[in-house]
Homo-oligomer: A and B are copies of this chain.
Amino acid sequence: MAKKVVPEEARRRRRPTRHGVVVTQQLIVETALRMLHEHGRDGLTVRRLGLALGADPSTLYRYFRGIDDLTLAIADELIARAMHGRRSTGQWRTDLREIGLRIHAAYLAHPEAAVLTASRVSGRANEIAGDETVLGILRSTGLPDADVVRIYQAFVDQALAFSALDAASLALPEEARAADERVWRATYAELPARTHPNIAALAPLLVARMNDSAYPTALEMLLDSAEASIGRARRDTDPDHA
């Protein structure tokens, strides 16, 4: 059977399935995203995908080498959605902030897919374009190359890491998520001050924040540190700047 998948642009025939659907890679990716939403993180199976497409499960293997290949295609789609429509303001801090928050938002819009893909390297066009953009923004600040690369890596990995972590919480099965939240709330609200004085003292603040992502805070702290580095770099090369 399919030793090799025919590339999308080389396809000549589009025979409809017995249910009348004309299959494409894009249709499969979109259907997979919808199934992940509807059935949870373990809800994407080849058999169910075939059912949702109105096609035999083995049809998938005419379009992707396997589940892993489909996963990478989904990752590419998420990155594309994250970067779509972005505009530059020319201010490095504003632009980096927006890119970080856009990545985070795009992944959280599809948490089950984000869990599957956040740690993968697609190496495709959208990913590379994003890296080029971030590097360009950082270079425009006048930072030395070594600092540019250091901060770039921290920025990108921080965005992906928080996206994956926050997505994982959202993607838990509802019962598990509710149980986790119950445990968390009970834990922090009821620990006695005698054994856990710090948690007890801050419990109201902790509980109030527990459903908010820490990413905006962590991102701003990273940008604080970058700004300090940029200030140092400018003083080094331009002493009049004071």
Q: Is the pair A199, B158 in contact by a Cβ cutoff of 8 Å?
A: no
Judge whether A154 is part of the interface by a CB distance below 8 angstroms.
Answer: yes
Interface string of A219-233 (1 = CB under 8 A from B): 011101110100000
Judge whether A165 is part of the interface by a CB distance below 8 angstroms.
Answer: yes
Q: Is the pair A119, B214 in contact by a Cβ cutoff of 8 Å?
A: no
Residues of B within 8 A of A169 (CB): 119
Stretch at the interface among A16-24, A25-33, A43-51, A120-128: A120-128
A148 vs B221: C-alpha distance when bound (angstroms): 14
Q: Interface on A for B, CB 8 Å cutoff?
A: 68, 118-123, 128, 131-132, 135-136, 139, 145-146, 148-151, 153-154, 156-158, 160-162, 164-165, 168-169, 172, 176, 180, 183-184, 186-187, 191, 196-199, 201-202, 205-206, 209, 213-215, 217-218, 220-222, 224-226, 228
